[in-house]
Chain A
Amino acid sequence: SYELTQPPSVSVSPGQTARITCSGDAFPKKYGYWYQQKSGQAPVLVIYEDSKRPSGIPERFSGSSSGTVATLTISGAQVEDEADYYCYSTDSSGNHRGVFGGGTKLTVL
């Protein structure tokens, strides 16, 4: 089955740039999406279609995709950005089944 691979954890100091990667063979053909999940809360969409930011999401969140890797970048990370981040895409089968990465715990301290 199709898999998306993320690092388990990333740690930065406040004000630094955090980069979270997501590897998947289908990325050249499929869009990547990113969700933020804070402790005890439902996930929130922060990036869609590789690099678009929904309304209400701070400009410090950005996304990119190159080859088989999608990347979420948080420029000037803040303490409130500490959360689990999940990438999402769909497989290349005709069924377009959804797939999440394993998640990355971002620590900002």
Chain B
Amino acid sequence: EVQLVESGGGLVQPGGSLRLSCAASGFTFRSHWMHWVRQAPGKGLVWVSRINSDESNISYADSVKGRFTISRDNAKNTLYLQMNSLRVEDTAVYYCTRGLSGTAIDYWGQGTLVTVSA
């Protein structure tokens, strides 16, 4: 069974940093592209970033480019999202998701809430 378990969310002040982790199990992690998707309270889904199997192909949404960094550790079956210079508008549930045929998404974690507030 595919499992994606996010951690690292919490309350942070504007301008602060946070690092999200996603522990993957139930599939061959190193063979899949991975994505982060977020959802602000009461709003729709927004694609944030994706990374290919060996970290050679990475892409970001314009809203986070230059502030967020996606990475992975295939030995630990773990995906990361380093979030710097956080803004109030970054407040959202962040979902770790598995890539389907690379650029699409099939499985989702349960999400971790990030709140940016003074």
Contact = CB atoms under 8 A, between A and B. Distances in A.
**Is chain B a partner of chain A in the same complex?**
yes
Interface of A: 1, 31, 33, 35, 37, 42-45, 48-49, 54, 84, 86, 88, 90, 95-103
A42 B96 CA distance: 10
Contacts of B104: 31, 33, 48-49, 88, 90, 98
Given A42-B111, A95-B59, A97-B61, A102 B44 contact: yes
A1 B62 contact: yes
- Secondary structure type dominating chain B contacts: strand
Contacts of A49: 101, 104
B45 A35 contact: yes
Given A33-B105, A100-B46, A101-B44, 20 more contacts: A31-B104, A33-B104, A35-B105, A37-B45, A42-B108, A42-B111, A43-B108, A45-B105, A48-B104, A49-B101, A49-B104, A88-B45, A88-B47, A88-B104, A96-B103, A98-B35, A99-B47, A100-B44, A100-B45, A100-B47
Nearest to B35: A98
Given A42-B95, A42-B111, A97 B47 contact: yes
Given A31-B104, A88-B105, A95-B59, A103 B45 contact: yes
B29 to A, nearest CB: 19
A108 to B, nearest CB: 20
Interface residues of B, number: 24
Nearest first, the 10 A-B pairs at minimum CB distance are: A98-B47, A103-B44, A42-B108, A95-B59, A100-B45, A96-B103, A90-B103, A45-B106, A97-B59, A102-B44
B85 interface: no
B110 interface: yes
Given A48-B100, A97-B59, A97-B61, A42 B47 contact: no
A43 B37 CA distance: 11
B109 interface: yes
B50 interface: yes
B108 A44 contact: yes
Contacts of B46: 100
